[in-house]
């Protein structure tokens, strides 16, 4: 058994999202000896830009876009919900392992994804040679209402014709009574906080966490949000456990997948 598996052995970790994201993260944690409890604290709802999305998907089917981008696995769910069809001329650039898995399972094309060792939005902008060729490309970017538009901004700064659409909204989901009881009693040893929205839900839904419950934040924006909410977990001599959980999550999921 590896040192990481020994370190997380027996630790029960709450994974706050389901679907492909939750499965990938849970597997990475279990590989290191943790027990996982998938209990979604966020879900995804219809966008406030539904009409704009419908029109953009019609243009996508008609081949009006040179490229489409996605940085969240949920985009694949949105496309399936709308029975979206890709024109053969349109290429697809995506970020995040969960996004790649979701697109391929849905039968959607994936033209470009960053190097697996650095699967980030910034890396995509570096590897995407077509966007620096001098040709103005027409690009559709689909994202969450709470995601930072790094990719959209990068494309606009390079002079491309970008149609950006908020494809879905991220909303809070109440935890079950069973989960709340497990947290209150300390039977869940650690809570994974993988986005600012999840930090908000943890603070709201579990206002009196046991003193020894680890709150493990992944990503700089998540840490900043947790600090602003005064959401803190046990630290000190348990920092090694925190680091091992963060490493496990980052090995499975890119930060861009955690912005929803």
* Domain span at 225: 10-40+178-251
Which one has a higher pLDDT value, 90 or 245? 90
Residue 63 confidence (pLDDT) above 70: yes
Q: What is the pLDDT of residue 234?
A: 58
Q: Please tell me whether residues 95 and 52 are part of one structural domain.
A: yes
In sequence order, the 6+-apart residues with CB closer than 8 A to the CB of 234 are 211, 212, 213, 214, 215
**Which CATH number do you get for residue 219?**
3.40.50.10090
Q: Please tell me whether residues 131 and 111 are part of one structural domain.
A: yes
Residue 254 confidence (pLDDT) above 70: no
Where does the pLDDT of residue 1 fall: very low under 50, low under 70, confident under 90, or very high at 90 and above?
very low
Residue 61 confidence (pLDDT) above 70: yes
Would 256 be classed as within a structural domain?
A: no
Q: Please tell me whether residues 152 and 123 are part of one structural domain.
A: yes
Number of structural domains (the chain) is 2
Q: What is the pLDDT of residue 2?
A: 52
Q: What is the pLDDT of residue 157?
A: 95
Residue 72 confidence (pLDDT) above 50: yes
Would 59 be classed as within a structural domain?
A: yes
- Please say whether the beta carbons of 198 and 38 come within 8 A: no
Q: Please tell me whether residues 209 and 188 are part of one structural domain.
A: yes
Spatial distance between the Cα atoms of 60 and 51, rounded to a whole number of angstroms: 14
Burial class (CB in 10 A: 0-12, 13-18, 19+), 191: buried
Residue 206 confidence (pLDDT) above 80: yes
Q: Please tell me whether residues 61 and 142 are part of one structural domain.
A: yes
The pLDDT of 205-214, averaged and rounded, is: 92
């Amino acid at each position: 058994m590896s040192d990481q598996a020994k370190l997380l052995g027996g630790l029960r970790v709450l994974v706050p999202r389901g679907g492909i994201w939750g499965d990938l993260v849970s597997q990475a944690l279990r590989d290191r000896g943790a027990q996982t409890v998938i209990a979604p604290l966020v879900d995804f709802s219809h966008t406030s830009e539904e009409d704009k999305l419908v029109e953009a998907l019609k243009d996508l089917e008609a081949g009006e876009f040179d490229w489409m981008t996605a940085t969240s696995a949920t985009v694949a769910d949105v496309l399936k919900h709308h029975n979206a069809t890709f024109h053969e001329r349109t290429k697809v650039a995506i970020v995040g392992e969960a996004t790649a898995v979701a697109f391929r399972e849905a039968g959607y094309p994936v033209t470009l994804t960053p190097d697996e060792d650095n699967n980030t939005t910034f890396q995509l902008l570096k590897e995407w040679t077509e966007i620096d060729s001098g040709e103005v490309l027409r690009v559709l970017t689909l994202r969450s209402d709470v995601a930072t538009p790094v990719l959209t901004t990068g494309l606009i700064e390079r002079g491309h014709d970008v149609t950006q659409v908020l494809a879905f909204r991220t909303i809070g989901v109440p935890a079950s009574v069973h989960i709340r009881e497990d947290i209150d009693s300390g039977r869940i040893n650690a809570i994974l906080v993988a986005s600012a929205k999840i930090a908000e839900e943890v603070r709201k839904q579990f206002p009196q966490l046991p003193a020894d419950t680890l709150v493990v934040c992944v990503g700089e924006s998540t840490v900043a949000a947790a600090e602003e909410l005064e959401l803190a977990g046990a630290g000190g001599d348990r920092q090694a456990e925190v680091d091992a959980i963060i490493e496990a999550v980052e090995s499975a999921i890119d930060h861009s997948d955690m912005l929803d």
